[in-house]
Amino acid sequence: MIYRISHVTEYQYSEPVTLAHHLAHLSPRDTDNQIFRRHRLDVFPSPAVAHDRIDAFGNRGSVFIVQEPHRCLTVKANSEVEVLPVPAFEPLLSPSWEQVRDGLPEDLSQQGLSVYQYIFDTALVKCSRELAEYAASSFPADRPLLDGVMDLSHRIFSDFVFDPAATTVSTPLSEVLASRRGVCQDFAHLEIGCLRSLGLAARYVSGYIETEPLPGQVKLHGCDASHAWVSVYCPGQGWVDFDPTNDQQVSGQHITLAWGRDFGDVSPLRGVILGGGQHSLSVGVTVTQVPQQFDQAGNSNGNGFQQMSAQQQQQ
Amino acid sequence: MTDTLVEAPVAGTQKSFEEGRAGVKAYNEMWSAPHAPRPHWDRFVCGMEGVGLTEISRRWEAAARLIRQQGMTYNVYGDPHGMDREWQLDPIPFIIDSAEWKKISEALIQRATLLNHILQDLYGPQKLLREGFFPSALVLGHPNFLRPCAGVPVAGNTYLHVYAADLARSPDGQWWVVNDRTQAPSGMGYALENRMVVLRMLSEMFRDCEVKRLHGFFTVLRETIERQAPHGKENPRVVLLTPGPYNETYYEHVYLARYLGYTLVEGGDLTVRDNRVYLKALGGLQQVDVILRRLDEDFCDPLELRSDSTLGVAGLLQAVAAGHVSVVNPLGSGLIEIPALRAFLSPLCRHLLGEDLKMPSVATWWCGHKQAFDYVRDHLDQLTVRPTFGPERSGPFVHAMLSAPEKAALLERMRFRPHDFTGHEQVAMSLAPTLANGKLEYRPAVVRVFLVARDGGYHVMPGGLTRVAAAGGQGMVSMQHGDVSKDTWVLGGNAAEEIAARAQIASLELRRGGNDLASRVADNLFWLGRYTERCESGVRLLRTVLLQLTDESSLRCSPALERLVAAPYAMGLTSVCPGDLCLAGELERVQADLLESVFATGRPMGLRETFGRVHWIASSLRDRISPDVWRIVNHLEREIFPAAASSAPQPGEGIVLLNSIVTILAAFNGMEMENMVRGMGWRFLDVGRRLERAVFMLNLLRKTVTTAHEDDASLLEALLDVADCSMSYRSRYFGPAHLPGVLDLLLLDEENPRSIAYQFAVILSHLDFLPREQEDHLPSQAKKIVLAGLANMRLADVEALSKPDENHFRSALDQLLDVLVRGLPPFSDNLTLRYFSHSVAARELNSIAVQIQS
């Protein structure tokens, strides 16, 4: 399935911003089940300096500096990816979670090290006894790892209430755990915290999910949203994604932007500004399916998409 | 006297390690046996016996004054009295002979080289992790493993330009490394300052002992720093990046910046544009080539590292990656400052350098390994346990002396996340002689030694910063715990070496002007001028009022006295609104309030608070104001005010205090007028002063002379006194003071440095020199305000101003004063907007676009 994603972020400031540094993680990456097709980032006013780079986790990031005074900053990301069907797996056939846990520090290969980095505390996810205790009932002795993770995801889905008013980006996990409320980002952090508290490797995935309009309604532009879920490492299977917010395994409807140890590594757009006064933010995301033939026709016409790297090399 | 000297050394004031290592006697640095000094102490002991401890104690009182005068301080975190704690320096140096020093130097050069290799690998190919020489958890789990810096090349492939090691000597005489400082080692400036003081106070012993000099080290340091400039630029612009005056070693940042000749900057003074780092200066942006940082690396770039940092520079990482600026030490070098590193250093040394580690590290166990964890668990009582990654001061220094429940809780935490804990042995540190209460005491000592990279190797400072535990300390040596420092003498210095070192000083490019003045600094100088003047005019007014109130010949309740007494209240200097002075007790009430505002602390507009602001601003300008000026400010804050404290001050005491403040502020002004280069900094300071003086005089005249009274003369005399113009007036007029003459002198006379017109005229002349005023063709808004005010005064008719109407009101005068005083706040705002606005702080944005349908 091919998806086209438009992600528009707009900041309005009450006073001019004289200098703005931004770091964006708005470009999809390649994954085992996803093929990057194109991406274009348009920034208004146009940046004096812009760079693309691959970060330590293999994500595509962009750094840009807007040096002209502005009261409004618009960042438009247009991307296209092909999402392949996620191969089915048999949770009961995965190795036991203790076996996986004990094997992680032993593997000193490049791959092993890249997995091992996901068991440690980060600024937003701190392991704790409480998290380990919450996770415990999903992980009795010898339970196959993926079976346990499915159960944990399901419990988070049933025990917690989705409530955008309950948390902010800085709400600590202990509070989420106590109030049993939050948004996808909190649930992802919570599940990661649970798994890491048991000594397992888990990472944060930032992306989108395709939504379908209610029957009989036309899909509105901008009604989709950023999403976040969890990926856990299982030897033999590699990284397996779970979506605790929707109680589902990650299907062909999940589009991956980037992954990291927590939200802080892959925040879609962050910035440091000079001036600006009060600010307001609006974000619009639209995910649409592209029919295969149409896409090829559009492609040959050169319909406006270009590789960002060609666009924004050192201006 | 000599009896005390040869007294057998006491076993040490530190009980803790005596208990911890029963039966082991700590090494005494000075004595090999009672009455037998170690050979390298011979000359010193001889000199000390000659001079005598009484004389040394006496000299040390002078040294303490010297330290106070230099303003040598150390800030202690979490202590309300910890700001600007006076630096503690013991007179007895720590002496090391040259043969032993040679061994120490070789060992530390080896160690610095090794650590540099390790950093190269950890930020590069990470072969050490894959081959199992270094536990991957210590890198991958380290909160300060700066992933964005991995793979980014650093100048000369050197991660450690500056390195420091803390050394301690065990009972058998062996030296051990107890700490590595790889990020931004502090203390070399203090070491140099200690040397300056000791050299001046024990000059004969210093000479006799042939001590190696430190100067050469700083020459090498400067060369190394400047060689890091991208593209080999000559005479690069180097800045020293400090977290600011709240940092524990801020004094040292100021001192080093001045000693090395670099601009001291805070994060807000720098900006990144076009992937280059610039200093925000008055004359525009100035490119920076090298940053000598004293800011922890995770705070250096809020965009890519800690987003909550307000101390860093957004975009710095990208500027480094683009190769437009170098950072010393490079970002990321703090990675191996963790104690756990020591557990792996020996095999790493054999693996990377093919030789044995020359100086052992204190035995350390990283609990991430099962056997190490078991050992620490079983020997908890003999070990110190620390968080593996925690910064030292965040502690807790988890000590062996824990209660049973605390111990159980610690074990519980250790079992849950073993890799987060590291245990190490407590070293029975050697005992160094320390002068306390006229006698020698022997206290555990740690020596910090500094190295700087040079030509692919390292150069060692022949000396260092020695610290000894405070009496009754916990066996832990840290300046944060109120310990005492010492000069460190390495013997075997000779003149030839010094001359050779001195010959290498590089040539200097001549520079003039001062456009590289950071906007923040200009802003601070402007306010320094304003606050010192506010202080001075307040002091003068309070003094005059106090004199008048208590003058034998004055009437208790004349209308003139009432208006004079009301002035300080109306101007916010006192807090009690004076009522009818003829009423019983009113005079006493007013007088008490007046004295209160002179002496009391904690009153927002009180003298102490205003002066506190002067002191604070001056302390953040330490690299910009001369040591003499600082001494004046410090003297007032530290000595005059505390000495004058009194529970029930008499008017006479108030007058004495106010008199001495007037004198001291006059010294400050004299320094400013005579010694400051007429650059932008001086101009902003002076504009601030002139502005404040104009505001004060305008308000004073408005509160006192806009209404006419019969006994105006005594009031006018008092005003002349406040403005220090009585003599000038007398030289022009005879008889009692009359208003036209006074107004002419205080308001309109451009020759009188106390008049309002004079302030306007001087401000105008300064404005013409300010950078943007010269470039623009039209006068700025600020300049227009001053021009208009001056024109109004020049056109004013003093007779008309003096004339009261039928209600005794001088409306023309009131209008003029009103117009003048109302122009000044917009003037100040305009100036701020034009010149200081890029001192605003950057802030963080984080788009949180996380809504999801479930």
Can you tell me the mean pLDDT for A52-72? 93
Task: For B184-243, give the secondary structure using H, E and C.
Answer: CCCCHHHHHHHHHHHHHHCHHHHHHCCECCCHHHHHHHHHHHHHCCHHHCCCCCEEEECC
Q: Do B854 and A275 touch (CB under 8 A)?
A: no
Selecting from B307, B838, B851 the residue whose C-beta is nearest the C-beta of A225 gives: B851
For residues A114 and A241, state if they share a domain.
yes
For residues A99 and A237, state if they share a domain.
yes
Q: What is the mean pLDDT of chain A?
A: 87
Q: Do A272 and B131 touch (CB under 8 A)?
A: no
pLDDT cut 70: percent of chain B above it: 87
- Asked which of A251, A276, A300 is the last residue of a domain, the reply is A251
Separation between Cα atoms, residue B56 and residue B63, nearest integer Å = 10
Question: Å from B147 to nearest chain A CA?
Answer: 6
Q: Do B848 and A113 touch (CB under 8 A)?
A: no
Question: Å from B374 to nearest chain A CA?
Answer: 17
**Tens-place pLDDT, residues B662-671:** 999 999 999 8
In a domain, A232, yes or no: yes
Residues of A within 8 A of B849 (CB-CB) are: 9, 225-226, 268, 281, 283, 285
Which string of DSSP letters, residue by residue, matches B754-817? Answer: TSHHHHHHHHHHHHTTSHHHHH-SSPPHHHHHHHHHHHHHHH--HHHHH---TTSB-HHHHHHH
In a domain, A229, yes or no: yes
In a domain, A258, yes or no: no
pLDDT cut 90: percent of chain A above it: 66
Residues of A within 8 A of B851 (CB-CB) are: 164, 183, 225-226
**Tens-place pLDDT, residues B155-199:** 888 999 999 999 999 999 999 999 999 999 999 999 999 998 999
In a domain, A194, yes or no: yes
Q: How many CB atoms lie within 10 A of CB B153?
A: 12
Report how many domains make up chain A: 2
Is the separation of the CB atoms in A20 and A73 below 8 Å?
yes
Separation between Cα atoms, residue B355 and residue B624, nearest integer Å = 48
Of B144-153, B217-226, B424-433, B632-641, least confident by mean pLDDT is B632-641
Q: Is B96 exposed, middle or buried (0-12, 13-18, 19+ CB in 10 A)?
A: buried
Whether the pLDDT of residue A43 is over 90: the answer is yes
In a domain, A260, yes or no: no
pLDDT at residue B399, rounded to an integer: 61
Question: Å from A301 to nearest chain B CA?
Answer: 33
In a domain, A76, yes or no: yes
Q: Do B846 and A162 touch (CB under 8 A)?
A: no
For residues A223 and A182, state if they share a domain.
yes
Scanning the structure block, which residue is given the tokens 């707009």? A10
pLDDT at residue B692, rounded to an integer: 94
For residues A191 and A124, state if they share a domain.
yes
For residues A61 and A113, state if they share a domain.
no
Mutate to test the interface with B, among A157, A272, A280, A282 (most CBs of B within 10 A): A272
Residues of A within 8 A of B847 (CB-CB) are: 9, 11, 267-271, 281, 283
In a domain, A259, yes or no: no
For residues A184 and A246, state if they share a domain.
yes
pLDDT at residue B370, rounded to an integer: 92
Q: Do B853 and A211 touch (CB under 8 A)?
A: yes
Question: Å from B315 to nearest chain A CA?
Answer: 7
pLDDT at residue B600, rounded to an integer: 78
Interfacial A residues in 32-71 facing B (CB < 8 Å): 48-49, 51, 55-57, 63, 65, 67
Question: Å from B137 to nearest chain A CA?
Answer: 8
Question: Å from A108 to nearest chain B CA?
Answer: 5
**CB-based contact (8 Å) between A96 and chain B?**
no
Query: At A208, which helix (H) or strand (E)?
Result: strand A202-209
Selecting from B140, B273, B840 the residue whose C-beta is nearest the C-beta of A67 gives: B273
Q: How many CB atoms lie within 10 A of CB A310?
A: 8
Whether the pLDDT of residue B395 is over 80: the answer is no
Q: Is B776 exposed, middle or buried (0-12, 13-18, 19+ CB in 10 A)?
A: exposed
pLDDT at residue B24, rounded to an integer: 59
Q: Strand runs (DSSP E) across A220-268, as ranges?
A: 226-234, 238-243, 248-249, 254-260
Selecting from B147, B420, B852 the residue whose C-beta is nearest the C-beta of A225 gives: B852
Q: How confident is the model at residue B524 (pLDDT cuts 50, 70, 90)?
A: confident
Q: Do B140 and A168 touch (CB under 8 A)?
A: no
Q: Do B844 and A169 touch (CB under 8 A)?
A: no
Residues of A within 8 A of B303 (CB-CB) are: 21-23, 63, 270-272
For residues A44 and A162, state if they share a domain.
no
Whether the pLDDT of residue A315 is over 70: the answer is no
Would you state the structure tokens that stand for residue B368, as one six-digit string? 């991430």
Q: How confident is the model at residue B789 (pLDDT cuts 50, 70, 90)?
A: very high
Would you call the peptide bond into B627 cis, given omega within 30 degrees of 0 as the criterion? Answer: no
Can you tell me the mean pLDDT for B257-285? 87
- Asked which of A199, A222, A251 is the last residue of a domain, the reply is A251
Selecting from A65, A117, A127 the residue whose C-beta is nearest the C-beta of B315 gives: A65
Can you tell me the mean pLDDT for A274-285? 87
- Chain centre to alpha carbon of residue B442: 31
For residues A163 and A247, state if they share a domain.
yes
Can you tell me the mean pLDDT for B586-600? 84
pLDDT at residue B79, rounded to an integer: 57
**Tens-place pLDDT, residues B525-564:** 999 999 999 999 999 999 999 888 887 666 666 777 888 8
pLDDT at residue B56, rounded to an integer: 93
Whether the pLDDT of residue B746 is over 70: the answer is yes
For residues A77 and A97, state if they share a domain.
no
Is the separation of the CB atoms in B651 and B552 below 8 Å?
no
Can you tell me the mean pLDDT for B637-646? 76
Q: According to the per-residue pLDDT averaged within each range, which of A209-213, B254-258, B819-823 is highest?
A: B819-823
Separation between Cα atoms, residue B71 and residue B617, nearest integer Å = 14
In A, minimum Cα distance to B139 occurs at: A117
Alpha carbon of B338 to those of A29, B449, B837: distances in Å? Answer: 35, 18, 40
pLDDT at residue A299, rounded to an integer: 46
- Asked which of A224, A251, A278 is the last residue of a domain, the reply is A251
For residues A50 and A103, state if they share a domain.
no
Q: How confident is the model at residue A274 (pLDDT cuts 50, 70, 90)?
A: confident
Range of the domain at A237: 91-251
**CB-based contact (8 Å) between A135 and chain B?**
no
**Amino acid letter for position A187:** F
Q: Helix, strand or coil for residue B590? A: helix
Q: Give the ipTM.
A: 0.89
CATH of the domain at A137: 3.10.620.30
| H-type alpha helices, A182-279 | 184-197, 263-266
In A, minimum Cα distance to B130 occurs at: A108
Separation between Cα atoms, residue B144 and residue B661, nearest integer Å = 49
Q: Which positions ≥6 away from B835 have C-beta within 8 Å?
A: B282, B519, B522, B523, B684, B770, B772
In a domain, A44, yes or no: yes
Of B68-72, B376-380, B419-423, B825-829, least confident by mean pLDDT is B68-72
What is the Rg, in whole angstroms, of the alpha carbon atoms belonging to chain A?
A: 20
Q: Do B272 and A65 touch (CB under 8 A)?
A: yes
Q: Do A116 and B126 touch (CB under 8 A)?
A: no
Residues of A within 8 A of B843 (CB-CB) are: 272-273, 276
In B, minimum Cα distance to A281 occurs at: B847
pLDDT at residue B123, rounded to an integer: 95
Interfacial A residues in 187-246 facing B (CB < 8 Å): 209, 211, 225-228, 245-246
Residues of A within 8 A of B414 (CB-CB) are: none
Whether the pLDDT of residue A216 is over 90: the answer is no
> Which contacts (CB < 8 Å, 24+ apart) does range B642-649 have?
B644/B599, B645/B599, B646/B599, B649/B595, B649/B598, B649/B599
For residues A237 and A103, state if they share a domain.
yes
pLDDT at residue B519, rounded to an integer: 81
Of A258-267, B53-62, B102-111, B623-632, least confident by mean pLDDT is B623-632
Residues of B within 8 A of A270 (CB-CB) are: 303, 307, 844-847
Q: CB contacts < 8 Å between A and B, how many?
A: 143
Q: Do B852 and A109 touch (CB under 8 A)?
A: no
Q: Do B315 and A21 touch (CB under 8 A)?
A: yes
Residues of A within 8 A of B520 (CB-CB) are: none
**CB-based contact (8 Å) between A9 and chain B?**
yes
pLDDT at residue B301, rounded to an integer: 92
Can you tell me the mean pLDDT for B259-286? 88
**CB-based contact (8 Å) between A281 and chain B?**
yes
**Tens-place pLDDT, residues A148-200:** 999 999 999 999 998 888 888 778 899 999 999 999 999 999 999 999 999 99
Question: Å from A129 to nearest chain B CA?
Answer: 8
Task: Provide the angle, in degrees to the nearest 10, between the axes of the packed helices B680-704 and B712-722.
Answer: 170
Q: How confident is the model at residue B8 (pLDDT cuts 50, 70, 90)?
A: very low
pLDDT at residue B84, rounded to an integer: 65
pLDDT at residue B510, rounded to an integer: 55
Q: How confident is the model at residue B787 (pLDDT cuts 50, 70, 90)?
A: very high
**Amino acid letter for position B130:** R
CATH of the domain at A10: 2.60.40.2250
For residues A98 and A244, state if they share a domain.
yes
In A, minimum Cα distance to B149 occurs at: A56
Q: Do B304 and A225 touch (CB under 8 A)?
A: no
Closest to A174 measured CA to CA, from A186, A184, A185 = A186
pLDDT at residue B509, rounded to an integer: 53
Q: Do A162 and B854 touch (CB under 8 A)?
A: yes
Q: Do B852 and A269 touch (CB under 8 A)?
A: no
pLDDT at residue B713, rounded to an integer: 84
Q: Do B271 and A283 touch (CB under 8 A)?
A: no
Q: Which residues of B touch chain A, with CB atoms under 8 Å apart? A: 126, 129-132, 136-137, 140-141, 143, 147-148, 150, 271-275, 302-304, 306-307, 314-315, 318, 368, 416-417, 420, 838, 840, 842-854
Spell out a b/e string for B591-611, using b for 16 or more CB atoms within 10 Å of the CB, else e: bebbbbbbbbeebeebbbebb
